[in-house]
Amino acid sequence: MTTVRTPDPPVAPKAARVPGSPDRPAGRRRKSQPEAFAFLTPWLLGAVALTIGPMVVSLYLSFTDYDLFTSPKWVGFGNFAHMFTDDDRYLQSVKVTLVYVLVSVPLKLTVSLLVAMLLNTRRGGSGFYRAAFYAPSLLGASVAAALVWRALFMGGGPVNEVLAFFGWHTPSWVDDPQFSLASIVLLGVWQFGAPMVIFLAGLKQIPAELHEAAAIDGAGAFRRFRHITLPMLSPVIFFNLVMEAIHAFQAFTPAFVIGGGRGGPADADLFYTLYLFEVGFQDFRMGYASAMAWVLLAVIAIVTAIVFRTAKLWVFYDDAGERR
Amino acid sequence: MRRTSERRTLVALAAVVPLLLTGVAACGSDPGGDGGDVTITFVWWGSEGRANLTKKAVELFQQKNPKIKVQTSFSAYAAYWEKLATQTAGGKPPDVLNVDTRYLAEYGGRNVLADLNGGAGKAISLADINPELAATGVYQGKRYAVPWAQNTPAMLYDPAAFTAAGADPAKGLTWDQYADATQKVSAAGGFAARGATDFGILDTTLEIWLRQQGKQFYTPEGKLGFAADDLRRYWQLAGRFRDAKGASPADVTASYNTSPEQSPLGKKLTSSEFAYDNLLPAYQKANGKPLNVAPYPADTAGNTGQYRRPSMFLAVSARSPQQEAAAKLVDFLVNDAEVGKIVGTDRGLAPNLKVRAQLAASAKGSDKTLYDYEAALEPKLGAAPPVPPKGAGAIQKLLQRTYEEVAFGRMSLDDAVSRFMSEAQKGLG
């Protein structure tokens, strides 16, 4: 490392009276609100026209029977009742999605944490590996990655061949109801880059003294992991858990591509979002699809709330004084 | 101080307001107008190759009608319907659109398509189209669409494999003979590749099989035209092929999708598949071996249940402000001899009989096979069934996934049959 420091950029002389600057009395500040709104307008327009507006419309549609072409008919809670009492495919989509969330999220977090710990040890080339491991998650919801996955796992594909070499003859993974969902879970896990990078940042924040002190006291690697790394990392785990759970609930592209756009063999990959899409855009039942979307939103909100509640029990903040 | 802040608010507003106005203006702008050039949009489904042919035909139309500009776009079958549904819901369906018989009621019955019996539709000549074929575009008395091509449900097969098994599908087989032949074909290849693609998932094959027994898939009232017992017997027939390993294993069956390149026969995993006769060249290209087309197996000779099918339709949007130009394009695509030469048999046989006769006289290769096949079959073909009701697109997928439950051994035949019947009745309302 060179020791030459680039000089600090010159500090701009403070303007005598910068309007709206923090040193002005609080009463003055309120006066500038109209212009704040004026500058916010582009964003506000976007939010209202593209997010809030459609959400309000979809909430209304969820109480109607709407076929996209003729005007919606009010049906009250009919759509919601139908979902839970008269629709086997809906229940199947709930089951598939829950299995996916419950399997893929813990698996992905475990893998990303292990890889992050591996990269955290100072070895040559860790920068390269960090980039290499992160790359798949850049392809996140990409159709291309899912297509490649389908080619890898289909009948006579590389996965079949390799397993057959070891004596395990499997059918086409993507076309068999027993294996199909597993191939999608693996695709999700493979894209562990985003939580991995966040874990890595979290690991770098853990003071080395803690590990050194514990090592001197005779704590082995596992005990140090259990009693230092995990507690110190718990806020990061918490963040990753919430984000990944939300993503998993909303998974769509891999299921759409790998399942051939129809929920896979015998509905084995019928993800919630996929069924919602099919109901709305293929079966022309947009009212029902809207109701499904709102149920999904409610479920994600509830799950997130539960995770937040339990956070008090297992998330440790170093600055305990400010702990809420 | 106060004034400067006010001025800045004004400046900010001045910056924002034009943005708003242009947005509003863009929403309100009216396409076409001034009596001069008009622009129409035209969409279809299919492959890149088909798109190139279609674009050539559209170019020819523009040369002959310099005042009409046509904007084209295309997508694969499934994506096409999703896109079209969204565009239609947004109030901007394309002016000229490609419609499938499975979705004709869906769009026609909801007043998305213009009635071509009157108004601008008078520009479309049906004089040289087989009247039975032309009638397939009529739903509840209104002509919502015009056939763009004709095809026939048929069996496509590898003649070398079947000759080796001692069978000649082209001469017509019984279902028993077909079952026997497929088993032999599978055995000859050590059961790695199979004699037939499992047809338990195919709604068209079920329809033909029902017609052979004097039944129909849908009644004219739009209900199911068959009972649970019919479906049970159909799936038992498919089960015989599957159990004898004459038909594809479940995971190969599940990989089926409607594109020839990705179907089991196209991927050389089976030696025969039920599809449509016009797909012969595409299947042949995917499979690599010379393939042939044969009538459906039938237990009574001559009663194959096959019919003159509108392979696809052209329709005009009821909301189009340019219906005259749109109808002109439809007429051109359906009746022009030059267009017939350009597009060939890609979508099926030309609907215009005069054009078809010209093309048949000069056909070569797999095209010739196709024309000869249709010419031989023509007198035996029945009239097309009534237009399938709303929800028919979903029934196709329902049949596929309930049969998969059976093929993978996850559900008993009886349970799958009753699930199909109850979901189908719900879906058809």
Q: Which residues of B touch A70 (CB under 8 A)?
A: 110-111
**Residue spans of beta strands (DSSP E) within A70-165:** 73-74
**Of B13, B82, B86, which has the smallest distance from its Cβ to A38's Cβ?**
B13
A10 φ/ψ angles, rounded to the nearest 5 degrees:
-60, 140
Give the separation between CA B124 and CA B94, rounded to whole angstroms.
18
**Of B13, B86, B110, which has the smallest distance from its Cβ to A67's Cβ?**
B110
Cβ contacts of residue B14 below 8 Å, gap of 6+?
none
Identify the CA nearest to B146 among candidates B283, B334, B426, B295. B334
Question: What is the tens place of the pLDDT at every residue in A168-213?
Answer: 888 889 999 999 999 999 999 998 988 999 999 999 999 989 999 9
Q: What is the DSSP letter of B167?
A: -
Beta-bridge mates of residue B145: none
Contact: B251, A155; criterion CB under 8 Å: yes
Q: Percent of chain A at pLDDT above 90?
A: 53
> pLDDT digit of tens for each residue in chain B (429 aa)?
444 444 444 444 444 444 443 333 333 334 444 456 899 999 999 888 899 999 999 999 999 999 999 999 999 888 898 899 888 888 889 999 999 998 999 899 888 999 999 889 999 999 999 998 999 999 989 999 999 999 999 999 999 999 999 999 999 899 999 999 999 999 998 898 999 999 999 999 999 999 999 999 999 889 999 999 999 999 999 999 999 999 999 999 998 887 888 899 999 999 999 999 989 988 999 999 999 999 999 998 778 899 999 999 999 999 999 999 999 999 999 999 999 999 988 899 999 999 999 999 988 888 888 898 888 888 888 888 989 998 888 898 999 999 999 999 999 999 999 999 999 998 887
**Of B2, B89, B393, which has the smallest distance from its Cβ to A69's Cβ?**
B89
Beta-bridge mates of residue B218: B224
Minimal-distance CA residue of chain A relative to B112: A69
Give the separation between CA A4 and CA B385, rounded to whole angstroms.
85
State the nearest Cα–Cα gap between B308 and chain A, in angstroms. Answer: 27
Helix axes A193-205, A230-249, angle to 10 degrees: 160
Task: Read off the tokens for A79.
Answer: 């759509």
Mutation choice for A interface testing from B401, B402, B406, B418 by most A CBs within 10 A: B401
Task: Read off the tokens for A257.
Answer: 């591509």
**Of B20, B89, B251, which has the smallest distance from its Cβ to A172's Cβ?**
B251
Residue located via tokens 């242009």: B22
Task: Read off the tokens for A12.
Answer: 């701009």
Contact A45, A276 (CB under 8 A): no
Question: What is the tens place of the pLDDT at every residue in A216-263?
Answer: 999 888 999 999 999 999 999 999 999 999 999 999 988 898 888 888
Identify the CA nearest to B126 among candidates B330, B416, B318, B370. B330
Minimal-distance CA residue of chain B relative to A270: B401
Contact B209, B144 (CB under 8 A): no
Contact A193, A240 (CB under 8 A): no
Size of interface A-B (CB pairs under 8 A): 99
Q: Is A286 on the interface with B (CB under 8 A)?
A: yes
Identify the CA nearest to B424 among candidates B239, B251, B219, B252. B219
Q: Is A176 on the interface with B (CB under 8 A)?
A: yes
Give the separation between CA B238 and CA B232, rounded to whole angstroms.
10
Give the separation between CA B269 and CA B248, rounded to whole angstroms.
8
Give the separation between CA B271 and CA A113, rounded to whole angstroms.
50
Q: Which residues of B touch A172 (CB under 8 A)?
A: 251-252, 254-255
**Of B88, B89, B410, which has the smallest distance from its Cβ to A266's Cβ?**
B410
Amino acid at A79: N
State the nearest Cα–Cα gap between A156 and chain B, in angstroms. Answer: 11
Q: Is A297 exposed, middle or buried (0-12, 13-18, 19+ CB in 10 A)?
A: middle
